[in-house]
Homo-oligomer: A and B are copies of this chain.
Amino acid sequence: MAQPSRARSPRAAPTPAPTRPVSRDPVLRVLAGGAVRLGRLEDTLGFHLRLAQEASFAAFSRRAGTSGLRPGHFAALVVIDGNPGLSQTALGGAVGRDKSTLTPTLRDLERRGLVRRERAEGDRRSYALTLTEAGRAALGALTGHAAAHDAALDALVGEGNRAAFLATLRRLIAGLGGEGR
């Protein structure tokens, strides 16, 4: 969500609203409870989980937005960094995406000179993925954003609360994961 919203063919600068007394952010406005009542959603864990995730995602995008690297790029860089030489299919498995989904992402990362793709020795169908020096630098910068972002989250969650909160999220992830698939 939170589309970067660059105007397609702006025939004139749209003159951003000069003052903004009320937040234009939907998430904030939702919980501020403007005029509209959200009914039973208001006490629902799933709904709040969704809002918190959207807010977190948007906040991260604000920090990292300048690089042109989106979350998908970041995830790929992190996993390649931690597992040099892995294949595209393995990467897809790790991040939960089909290999065809990763093709454009990896082509893009290679074009930017951040990732190297070499035919694997043992199996010449697959690529061995590694980060270049520039890739490590880009990852470092993104990691800085991510760390700042997580520090902001930590501050909101609260020192003494973090471990319990993370443990609860992990229980949800593990407990909800496997039923009908």
Contact = CB atoms under 8 A, between A and B. Distances in A.
A164 B55 CA distance: 19
10 contacts: A27-B177, A36-B79, A37-B83, A40-B78, A46-B150, A50-B57, A51-B173, A52-B53, A53-B53, A55-B173
Interface in A146-181: 146, 149-150, 152-158, 161-162, 164-166, 168-181
A103 interface: no
Number of identical monomers bound together in the oligomeric complex: 2
A44 B150 contact: yes
A172 B56 contact: yes
In which size bucket is the chain A interface?
35 or more
Interface in A116-167: 143, 146, 149-150, 152-158, 161-162, 164-166
A34 interface: yes
A66 to B, nearest CB: 12
Contacts of A59: 176, 179
A169 B164 CA distance: 13
Nearest to A151: B45
A58 interface: yes
B44 A177 contact: no
Interface string A55-94: 1111110100000000000010011011100100011011
Contacts of A41: 75, 78
A177 B23 contact: yes
Closest 4 pairs between A and B when the two form their complex, measured CB to CB: A26-B96, A28-B177, A39-B82, A36-B94
